[in-house]
Amino acid sequence: MRALMPEPDPEALAETMVAFANSDGGTLLIGADQDGQVTGQVFADEVEMALQAAGEKCRPPVEARWHQATAEDGPVFSIVVNRSPELHSLADGRVLVRTGPQNRPLSGDEIRQLAATKSTGDFEAEPAPAAERGDFDDEVVQAFVDKWEERQHREWTRSVDDLLLEMGALTDEGRPTVAGVLLFAGNPQAFLPQSGLTFVKFVGTEPRGEDGYPGYGRREEIRGPLPRIIRRAWQVVGEEMRKGAVVTELERKERTEYPVSAVREALVNAVAHRDYRLRGRRIEVRMFSDRMEITSPGGLPGFITVDNIVDEHFSRNPRIVAGLYQWGYIEELGLGVDLMIDEMVRAGHPPPKFRDSPYAFAVTLYNVLEREPQPDWAGRVTERQAKALAYVEAHGRITNREYRDLCPGLSPETLRLDLAELVDKGMLLKVGAKKGTYYILR
Protein backbone atom coordinates (compact mmCIF):
# COMPACT_ATOMS: atom_id res chain seq x y z
CA MET A 1 0.00 0.00 0.00
CA ARG A 2 1.14 3.54 -0.67
CA ALA A 3 -0.09 7.00 0.33
CA LEU A 4 1.02 10.44 -0.89
CA MET A 5 1.13 13.60 1.25
CA PRO A 6 2.28 16.98 -0.18
CA GLU A 7 3.08 18.42 3.28
CA PRO A 8 3.69 16.86 6.71
CA ASP A 9 0.34 17.04 8.50
CA PRO A 10 0.58 15.36 11.97
CA GLU A 11 -3.15 14.51 12.12
CA ALA A 12 -3.27 12.95 8.64
CA LEU A 13 0.07 11.26 9.27
CA ALA A 14 -1.19 9.67 12.51
CA GLU A 15 -4.35 8.43 10.78
CA THR A 16 -2.36 6.84 7.96
CA MET A 17 0.17 5.25 10.34
CA VAL A 18 -2.62 3.64 12.37
CA ALA A 19 -4.44 2.50 9.22
CA PHE A 20 -1.28 0.92 7.78
CA ALA A 21 -0.39 -0.79 11.09
CA ASN A 22 -3.90 -2.25 11.40
CA SER A 23 -3.89 -3.46 7.78
CA ASP A 24 -1.01 -4.87 5.74
CA GLY A 25 1.47 -2.06 6.31
CA GLY A 26 2.50 0.49 3.69
CA THR A 27 4.69 3.37 2.60
CA LEU A 28 3.83 7.06 2.96
CA LEU A 29 5.62 9.54 0.69
CA ILE A 30 5.79 13.08 2.10
CA GLY A 31 6.60 15.83 -0.37
CA ALA A 32 4.67 14.38 -3.33
CA ASP A 33 1.21 15.39 -4.53
CA GLN A 34 -1.60 13.02 -5.55
CA ASP A 35 -0.16 12.79 -9.07
CA GLY A 36 3.18 11.66 -7.66
CA GLN A 37 4.91 14.96 -8.50
CA VAL A 38 7.55 16.13 -6.01
CA THR A 39 6.64 19.51 -4.49
CA GLY A 40 10.18 20.44 -3.39
CA GLN A 41 8.70 22.36 -0.42
CA VAL A 42 9.31 19.87 2.43
CA PHE A 43 12.41 19.63 4.63
CA ALA A 44 13.77 17.02 7.03
CA ASP A 45 13.18 18.94 10.27
CA GLU A 46 9.49 19.44 9.38
CA VAL A 47 9.05 15.73 8.72
CA GLU A 48 10.78 14.77 11.95
CA MET A 49 8.61 17.12 14.02
CA ALA A 50 5.41 15.94 12.29
CA LEU A 51 6.35 12.29 12.80
CA GLN A 52 6.98 12.90 16.50
CA ALA A 53 3.65 14.71 16.91
CA ALA A 54 1.83 11.97 14.97
CA GLY A 55 3.39 9.28 17.14
CA GLU A 56 1.92 10.90 20.25
CA LYS A 57 -1.57 10.49 18.77
CA CYS A 58 -1.25 6.70 18.24
CA ARG A 59 -2.35 4.19 20.90
CA PRO A 60 -0.15 2.17 21.34
CA PRO A 61 2.74 3.83 19.46
CA VAL A 62 3.21 2.75 15.84
CA GLU A 63 6.72 1.79 14.75
CA ALA A 64 7.78 3.71 11.63
CA ARG A 65 11.04 4.01 9.68
CA TRP A 66 11.79 7.03 7.51
CA HIS A 67 14.50 8.17 5.16
CA GLN A 68 15.08 10.96 2.68
CA ALA A 69 15.39 10.46 -1.06
CA THR A 70 16.54 13.08 -3.54
CA ALA A 71 14.59 13.75 -6.73
CA GLU A 72 15.18 16.28 -9.50
CA ASP A 73 12.54 18.63 -8.10
CA GLY A 74 13.64 18.37 -4.47
CA PRO A 75 13.60 16.00 -1.49
CA VAL A 76 10.89 13.44 -0.80
CA PHE A 77 10.57 11.49 2.44
CA SER A 78 9.55 7.85 2.69
CA ILE A 79 7.89 6.61 5.90
CA VAL A 80 7.51 2.83 6.11
CA VAL A 81 5.00 1.26 8.52
CA ASN A 82 4.81 -2.53 8.89
CA ARG A 83 1.70 -4.45 9.75
CA SER A 84 1.48 -4.69 13.55
CA PRO A 85 0.39 -7.69 15.65
CA GLU A 86 -1.31 -5.17 17.97
CA LEU A 87 -4.55 -3.24 17.51
CA HIS A 88 -3.83 0.50 17.14
CA SER A 89 -6.17 3.45 17.60
CA LEU A 90 -5.94 7.23 17.65
CA ALA A 91 -6.06 9.25 20.84
CA ASP A 92 -9.75 10.01 20.18
CA GLY A 93 -10.56 6.27 20.07
CA ARG A 94 -10.96 5.82 16.33
CA VAL A 95 -9.62 2.58 14.83
CA LEU A 96 -8.70 2.93 11.14
CA VAL A 97 -7.72 0.55 8.35
CA ARG A 98 -6.46 1.26 4.85
CA THR A 99 -9.00 0.72 2.08
CA GLY A 100 -7.64 1.62 -1.36
CA PRO A 101 -6.52 5.27 -1.20
CA GLN A 102 -8.45 6.05 2.01
CA ASN A 103 -8.22 5.51 5.78
CA ARG A 104 -11.53 3.98 6.88
CA PRO A 105 -12.82 3.99 10.48
CA LEU A 106 -14.12 0.63 11.71
CA SER A 107 -17.47 -0.04 13.31
CA GLY A 108 -17.73 -1.61 16.76
CA ASP A 109 -18.27 -5.13 15.39
CA GLU A 110 -15.35 -4.73 12.97
CA ILE A 111 -13.07 -3.55 15.79
CA ARG A 112 -13.96 -6.61 17.88
CA GLN A 113 -13.36 -8.89 14.90
CA LEU A 114 -9.98 -7.30 14.15
CA ALA A 115 -8.99 -7.38 17.84
CA ALA A 116 -9.75 -11.11 18.00
CA THR A 117 -7.38 -11.71 15.09
CA LYS A 118 -4.66 -9.46 16.50
CA SER A 119 -4.77 -11.15 19.91
CA THR A 120 -3.69 -14.46 18.41
CA GLY A 121 -0.24 -13.01 17.70
CA ASP A 122 1.83 -13.18 14.55
CA PHE A 123 2.03 -16.95 14.21
CA GLU A 124 3.88 -17.06 10.89
CA ALA A 125 6.73 -14.98 12.38
CA GLU A 126 7.26 -17.34 15.35
CA PRO A 127 10.22 -19.75 15.30
CA ALA A 128 9.10 -23.14 14.00
CA PRO A 129 9.58 -25.68 16.84
CA ALA A 130 12.56 -28.01 16.28
CA ALA A 131 13.28 -26.62 12.79
CA GLU A 132 16.83 -25.75 11.74
CA ARG A 133 18.29 -23.82 8.82
CA GLY A 134 19.44 -27.12 7.31
CA ASP A 135 15.79 -28.21 6.93
CA PHE A 136 15.40 -25.72 4.06
CA ASP A 137 15.56 -27.26 0.58
CA ASP A 138 18.48 -25.60 -1.24
CA GLU A 139 16.85 -26.06 -4.64
CA VAL A 140 13.65 -24.37 -3.45
CA VAL A 141 15.61 -21.50 -1.90
CA GLN A 142 17.70 -20.96 -5.03
CA ALA A 143 14.60 -21.06 -7.23
CA PHE A 144 13.11 -18.34 -5.02
CA VAL A 145 16.24 -16.18 -5.31
CA ASP A 146 16.08 -16.53 -9.09
CA LYS A 147 12.40 -15.49 -9.10
CA TRP A 148 13.14 -12.57 -6.78
CA GLU A 149 15.87 -11.28 -9.08
CA GLU A 150 13.62 -11.70 -12.11
CA ARG A 151 10.75 -9.78 -10.51
CA GLN A 152 12.97 -7.05 -9.03
CA HIS A 153 15.05 -6.68 -12.22
CA ARG A 154 18.28 -6.73 -10.24
CA GLU A 155 20.75 -9.16 -8.74
CA TRP A 156 20.73 -10.00 -5.04
CA THR A 157 24.35 -9.26 -4.05
CA ARG A 158 24.27 -10.17 -0.35
CA SER A 159 24.05 -13.62 1.21
CA VAL A 160 20.99 -15.80 0.66
CA ASP A 161 20.33 -15.83 4.41
CA ASP A 162 20.15 -12.02 4.37
CA LEU A 163 17.29 -12.26 1.86
CA LEU A 164 15.57 -14.94 3.96
CA LEU A 165 15.95 -12.74 7.06
CA GLU A 166 14.61 -9.70 5.21
CA MET A 167 11.46 -11.53 4.10
CA GLY A 168 10.80 -13.08 7.52
CA ALA A 169 11.81 -16.67 6.76
CA LEU A 170 14.55 -16.55 9.42
CA THR A 171 14.67 -14.91 12.84
CA ASP A 172 17.49 -12.54 13.82
CA GLU A 173 19.16 -15.57 15.44
CA GLY A 174 19.02 -17.52 12.17
CA ARG A 175 16.20 -19.90 13.18
CA PRO A 176 13.50 -20.79 10.64
CA THR A 177 10.14 -19.14 11.22
CA VAL A 178 6.81 -20.79 10.52
CA ALA A 179 6.62 -18.81 7.25
CA GLY A 180 10.13 -19.93 6.34
CA VAL A 181 9.38 -23.59 6.96
CA LEU A 182 6.15 -23.42 4.95
CA LEU A 183 7.84 -21.72 2.00
CA PHE A 184 11.25 -23.40 1.91
CA ALA A 185 11.51 -26.58 4.00
CA GLY A 186 11.85 -29.83 2.09
CA ASN A 187 9.20 -31.41 4.33
CA PRO A 188 7.16 -28.74 6.16
CA GLN A 189 4.64 -31.36 7.25
CA ALA A 190 7.24 -32.78 9.65
CA PHE A 191 6.83 -29.57 11.66
CA LEU A 192 3.29 -28.53 10.68
CA PRO A 193 1.34 -31.70 9.74
CA GLN A 194 -1.75 -29.60 9.00
CA SER A 195 -0.02 -27.70 6.17
CA GLY A 196 -0.78 -30.12 3.33
CA LEU A 197 -3.70 -30.25 0.89
CA THR A 198 -6.22 -33.01 0.23
CA PHE A 199 -7.82 -33.40 -3.22
CA VAL A 200 -10.92 -35.58 -3.69
CA LYS A 201 -12.84 -36.14 -6.94
CA PHE A 202 -16.44 -37.43 -6.82
CA VAL A 203 -18.25 -38.76 -9.87
CA GLY A 204 -21.58 -37.02 -9.21
CA THR A 205 -22.99 -34.08 -7.30
CA GLU A 206 -22.84 -35.84 -3.93
CA PRO A 207 -19.86 -37.20 -1.96
CA ARG A 208 -20.40 -40.77 -3.15
CA GLY A 209 -18.72 -43.25 -5.45
CA GLU A 210 -19.99 -44.77 -8.70
CA ASP A 211 -22.00 -47.45 -6.87
CA GLY A 212 -23.91 -44.85 -4.84
CA TYR A 213 -22.18 -45.72 -1.61
CA PRO A 214 -19.84 -43.32 0.19
CA GLY A 215 -16.64 -43.12 -1.78
CA TYR A 216 -14.68 -41.17 -4.35
CA GLY A 217 -13.10 -41.49 -7.76
CA ARG A 218 -9.68 -40.06 -6.91
CA ARG A 219 -7.95 -38.92 -3.77
CA GLU A 220 -4.50 -37.33 -3.41
CA GLU A 221 -2.63 -36.08 -0.36
CA ILE A 222 -0.36 -33.25 -1.52
CA ARG A 223 2.68 -32.38 0.57
CA GLY A 224 5.79 -30.21 0.41
CA PRO A 225 6.53 -26.47 0.61
CA LEU A 226 3.69 -24.16 -0.35
CA PRO A 227 4.92 -23.37 -3.89
CA ARG A 228 5.02 -27.09 -4.71
CA ILE A 229 1.61 -27.65 -3.11
CA ILE A 230 0.08 -24.95 -5.33
CA ARG A 231 1.79 -26.30 -8.43
CA ARG A 232 0.82 -29.93 -7.76
CA ALA A 233 -2.77 -29.05 -6.77
CA TRP A 234 -3.19 -27.11 -10.00
CA GLN A 235 -1.76 -30.05 -11.96
CA VAL A 236 -4.21 -32.51 -10.37
CA VAL A 237 -7.21 -30.20 -10.88
CA GLY A 238 -6.14 -29.67 -14.49
CA GLU A 239 -6.01 -33.43 -15.06
CA GLU A 240 -9.57 -33.81 -13.72
CA MET A 241 -11.21 -30.83 -15.44
CA ARG A 242 -13.34 -31.63 -18.44
CA LYS A 243 -12.32 -29.86 -21.63
CA GLY A 244 -14.37 -28.84 -24.62
CA ALA A 245 -14.21 -26.43 -27.51
CA VAL A 246 -16.16 -23.47 -28.80
CA VAL A 247 -16.08 -22.04 -32.32
CA THR A 248 -16.19 -18.27 -32.74
CA GLU A 249 -15.72 -16.61 -36.12
CA LEU A 250 -14.49 -19.91 -37.61
CA GLU A 251 -11.79 -20.18 -34.91
CA ARG A 252 -11.81 -23.20 -32.60
CA LYS A 253 -10.83 -22.47 -29.01
CA GLU A 254 -10.39 -24.95 -26.18
CA ARG A 255 -12.53 -24.28 -23.13
CA THR A 256 -11.91 -25.83 -19.72
CA GLU A 257 -14.61 -26.80 -17.26
CA TYR A 258 -13.66 -23.81 -15.08
CA PRO A 259 -11.73 -20.67 -16.07
CA VAL A 260 -8.05 -21.33 -15.46
CA SER A 261 -7.39 -18.02 -13.71
CA ALA A 262 -10.37 -18.40 -11.37
CA VAL A 263 -9.25 -21.85 -10.20
CA ARG A 264 -5.67 -20.66 -9.80
CA GLU A 265 -6.74 -17.70 -7.66
CA ALA A 266 -8.97 -19.87 -5.47
CA LEU A 267 -6.13 -22.33 -4.86
CA VAL A 268 -3.54 -19.64 -4.15
CA ASN A 269 -5.88 -17.77 -1.78
CA ALA A 270 -6.63 -20.95 0.16
CA VAL A 271 -2.92 -21.67 0.62
CA ALA A 272 -1.88 -18.07 1.33
CA HIS A 273 -4.61 -17.11 3.80
CA ARG A 274 -5.41 -20.26 5.78
CA ASP A 275 -4.93 -20.25 9.56
CA TYR A 276 -1.87 -22.44 10.03
CA ARG A 277 -2.40 -22.54 13.80
CA LEU A 278 -5.37 -24.87 13.37
CA ARG A 279 -4.36 -28.50 13.62
CA GLY A 280 -6.18 -31.59 12.49
CA ARG A 281 -7.44 -30.31 9.13
CA ARG A 282 -5.80 -29.57 5.80
CA ILE A 283 -6.94 -27.46 2.88
CA GLU A 284 -9.52 -29.50 0.98
CA VAL A 285 -10.35 -29.39 -2.73
CA ARG A 286 -13.52 -31.37 -3.45
CA MET A 287 -14.46 -31.72 -7.11
CA PHE A 288 -18.02 -32.74 -8.07
CA SER A 289 -19.65 -33.03 -11.47
CA ASP A 290 -21.29 -29.60 -11.13
CA ARG A 291 -18.96 -27.68 -8.81
CA MET A 292 -15.62 -27.40 -7.08
CA GLU A 293 -15.35 -26.62 -3.37
CA ILE A 294 -12.08 -25.25 -1.96
CA THR A 295 -12.09 -25.05 1.84
CA SER A 296 -9.36 -23.37 3.86
CA PRO A 297 -9.13 -23.86 7.65
CA GLY A 298 -9.71 -20.65 9.59
CA GLY A 299 -12.42 -18.04 9.14
CA LEU A 300 -11.90 -14.76 7.33
CA PRO A 301 -9.11 -12.70 8.93
CA GLY A 302 -9.27 -9.32 10.60
CA PHE A 303 -12.26 -7.16 9.68
CA ILE A 304 -12.96 -9.02 6.42
CA THR A 305 -16.48 -10.40 5.92
CA VAL A 306 -18.25 -12.09 3.02
CA ASP A 307 -20.00 -8.78 2.33
CA ASN A 308 -16.83 -6.66 2.06
CA ILE A 309 -14.41 -9.27 0.69
CA VAL A 310 -14.34 -7.62 -2.74
CA ASP A 311 -13.56 -4.10 -1.49
CA GLU A 312 -11.32 -4.78 1.53
CA HIS A 313 -7.96 -6.49 1.95
CA PHE A 314 -6.25 -7.94 5.03
CA SER A 315 -3.66 -10.71 5.15
CA ARG A 316 -3.47 -13.18 8.01
CA ASN A 317 -0.04 -14.23 6.73
CA PRO A 318 1.64 -11.17 5.12
CA ARG A 319 5.09 -12.85 4.95
CA ILE A 320 3.69 -15.90 3.19
CA VAL A 321 1.70 -13.65 0.85
CA ALA A 322 4.81 -11.59 0.09
CA GLY A 323 6.79 -14.77 -0.56
CA LEU A 324 4.18 -16.17 -2.96
CA TYR A 325 4.06 -12.76 -4.67
CA GLN A 326 7.81 -12.94 -5.31
CA TRP A 327 7.39 -16.52 -6.54
CA GLY A 328 4.90 -15.21 -9.10
CA TYR A 329 1.88 -17.10 -7.75
CA ILE A 330 0.21 -13.82 -6.76
CA GLU A 331 0.23 -11.30 -9.61
CA GLU A 332 -1.31 -8.27 -7.89
CA LEU A 333 -1.76 -8.02 -4.14
CA GLY A 334 -5.38 -7.70 -3.04
CA LEU A 335 -7.04 -8.36 -6.43
CA GLY A 336 -7.48 -12.15 -6.30
CA VAL A 337 -11.19 -12.15 -5.39
CA ASP A 338 -12.01 -9.54 -8.05
CA LEU A 339 -10.21 -11.62 -10.68
CA MET A 340 -11.93 -14.83 -9.60
CA ILE A 341 -15.39 -13.26 -9.88
CA ASP A 342 -14.60 -11.55 -13.18
CA GLU A 343 -13.23 -14.71 -14.82
CA MET A 344 -16.22 -16.84 -13.76
CA VAL A 345 -18.80 -14.30 -14.96
CA ARG A 346 -16.98 -13.64 -18.24
CA ALA A 347 -16.92 -17.39 -18.94
CA GLY A 348 -20.70 -17.57 -18.47
CA HIS A 349 -20.68 -19.23 -15.05
CA PRO A 350 -22.42 -18.03 -11.90
CA PRO A 351 -20.14 -15.95 -9.66
CA PRO A 352 -18.27 -17.85 -6.92
CA LYS A 353 -20.07 -18.43 -3.64
CA PHE A 354 -18.23 -17.61 -0.42
CA ARG A 355 -19.06 -19.26 2.89
CA ASP A 356 -17.44 -18.19 6.16
CA SER A 357 -17.50 -19.85 9.58
CA PRO A 358 -15.28 -19.38 12.67
CA TYR A 359 -13.04 -22.28 11.64
CA ALA A 360 -13.21 -22.45 7.84
CA PHE A 361 -13.68 -20.38 4.70
CA ALA A 362 -14.97 -22.01 1.51
CA VAL A 363 -15.18 -20.94 -2.13
CA THR A 364 -17.51 -22.81 -4.47
CA LEU A 365 -17.11 -22.56 -8.25
CA TYR A 366 -20.03 -23.81 -10.36
CA ASN A 367 -19.60 -25.10 -13.90
CA VAL A 368 -23.27 -24.83 -14.88
CA LEU A 369 -25.40 -21.82 -15.76
CA GLU A 370 -28.27 -22.69 -13.44
CA ARG A 371 -29.01 -20.07 -10.86
CA GLU A 372 -30.86 -20.31 -7.61
CA PRO A 373 -34.36 -18.75 -7.68
CA GLN A 374 -34.09 -15.04 -7.11
CA PRO A 375 -36.20 -13.24 -4.49
CA ASP A 376 -39.48 -11.56 -5.43
CA TRP A 377 -38.53 -7.94 -6.07
CA ALA A 378 -42.09 -6.60 -6.23
CA GLY A 379 -42.52 -3.76 -3.78
CA ARG A 380 -38.81 -3.75 -2.88
CA VAL A 381 -37.31 -2.01 -5.93
CA THR A 382 -38.29 0.65 -8.43
CA GLU A 383 -39.28 -0.16 -11.98
CA ARG A 384 -35.86 1.03 -13.18
CA GLN A 385 -34.07 -1.16 -10.65
CA ALA A 386 -36.17 -4.15 -11.70
CA LYS A 387 -34.90 -3.60 -15.26
CA ALA A 388 -31.34 -3.66 -13.97
CA LEU A 389 -31.90 -6.90 -12.04
CA ALA A 390 -33.55 -8.56 -15.02
CA TYR A 391 -30.62 -7.49 -17.21
CA VAL A 392 -28.13 -9.03 -14.77
CA GLU A 393 -30.14 -12.27 -14.70
CA ALA A 394 -29.99 -12.44 -18.49
CA HIS A 395 -26.39 -11.31 -19.04
CA GLY A 396 -24.62 -12.14 -15.77
CA ARG A 397 -23.52 -8.55 -15.09
CA ILE A 398 -24.32 -4.89 -15.73
CA THR A 399 -22.17 -1.75 -16.03
CA ASN A 400 -23.15 1.87 -15.42
CA ARG A 401 -23.09 2.46 -19.19
CA GLU A 402 -25.39 -0.51 -19.87
CA TYR A 403 -27.80 0.76 -17.22
CA ARG A 404 -27.84 4.19 -18.87
CA ASP A 405 -28.70 2.50 -22.17
CA LEU A 406 -31.63 0.75 -20.43
CA CYS A 407 -32.88 4.02 -18.94
CA PRO A 408 -32.12 6.87 -21.38
CA GLY A 409 -32.84 10.44 -20.36
CA LEU A 410 -31.84 10.09 -16.70
CA SER A 411 -28.70 11.53 -15.16
CA PRO A 412 -25.72 9.20 -14.61
CA GLU A 413 -25.74 10.13 -10.89
CA THR A 414 -29.37 9.04 -10.47
CA LEU A 415 -28.64 5.69 -12.07
CA ARG A 416 -25.44 5.26 -10.05
CA LEU A 417 -27.45 5.77 -6.86
CA ASP A 418 -29.98 3.18 -8.10
CA LEU A 419 -27.24 0.56 -8.36
CA ALA A 420 -25.68 1.61 -5.05
CA GLU A 421 -29.06 1.08 -3.35
CA LEU A 422 -29.32 -2.42 -4.81
CA VAL A 423 -25.88 -3.14 -3.38
CA ASP A 424 -26.98 -1.85 0.04
CA LYS A 425 -30.07 -4.08 -0.11
CA GLY A 426 -27.90 -7.11 -0.74
CA MET A 427 -29.27 -7.80 -4.23
CA LEU A 428 -26.19 -6.83 -6.24
CA LEU A 429 -22.45 -7.12 -5.62
CA LYS A 430 -20.13 -4.40 -6.88
CA VAL A 431 -16.95 -5.64 -8.58
CA GLY A 432 -13.95 -3.55 -9.67
CA ALA A 433 -13.34 0.19 -9.43
CA LYS A 434 -13.71 3.36 -11.48
CA LYS A 435 -14.21 2.65 -15.21
CA GLY A 436 -13.87 -1.11 -14.64
CA THR A 437 -16.83 -1.29 -12.23
CA TYR A 438 -19.67 -3.72 -12.88
CA TYR A 439 -22.39 -5.40 -10.82
CA ILE A 440 -23.48 -9.04 -10.44
CA LEU A 441 -26.23 -10.78 -8.49
CA ARG A 442 -25.16 -11.44 -4.91
Question: Domain extents for the chain?
Answer: 2-119, 194-366, 383-441
Q: Going by CATH, does the domain composed of 2-119 fall within 3.30.70.100?
A: no
Cα 80 to the center of its chain, rounded Å = 21
pLDDT in tens, 368-385: 644 444 455 545 777 788
DSSP character at residue 127: B
pLDDT at 385: 85
Report d(CA 358, CA 297) in Å as an integer: 9
Domains 2-119 and 194-366 are alike in CATH topology: no
Q: Quick check: 280 pLDDT over 80? A: yes
For 64-81, letters b (16+ CB in 10 Å) and e give bebeeeeeeeebbbbbeb
Which of 345, 348, 430 is closest to 388 using CA atoms? 430
Can you tell me the mean pLDDT for 139-168? 95
Q: What is the pLDDT of residue 251?
A: 54
pLDDT tens digits for range 218-250: 899 999 999 999 999 999 999 888 876 444 444
Q: Are 352 and 343 in contact (CB under 8 A)?
A: no
* Contact (CB, 8 A) for 227 and 329: yes
Does the structure show a pLDDT above 70 at 332? no
Please, how many CA atoms are within 13 Å of residue 139, restricted to the half-sphere of its CB? 6
Residue 247 is predicted with a pLDDT of: 46
Rounded CA-CA distance 132/277 in Å is 20
CATH code for the structural domain at 383-441: 1.10.10.10
Instruction: Answer yes or no: is pLDDT of 189 > 80.
Output: yes
To the question of pTM greater than 0.75 for the whole model, the response is no
Q: Which contiguous run of DSSP H or E holds residue 422?
A: helix 412-424
Q: Is the peptide bond before 129 cis (omega within 30 degrees of 0)?
A: no
Rounded-to-integer distance, Cα 367 and Cα 380, Å: 31
For domain 194-366, the question of CATH label 3.30.565.60 is answered with yes
Paired with 218 in beta bridges are 201
Q: What is the average pLDDT score of the chain?
A: 87
DSSP-derived secondary structure letter, 188: G
Contact 268, 324 (CB under 8 A): yes
Q: Are 133 and 174 in contact (CB under 8 A)?
A: yes
Task: Mention every residue, 6+ apart, whose C-beta is less than 8 A from residue 433.
Answer: 100
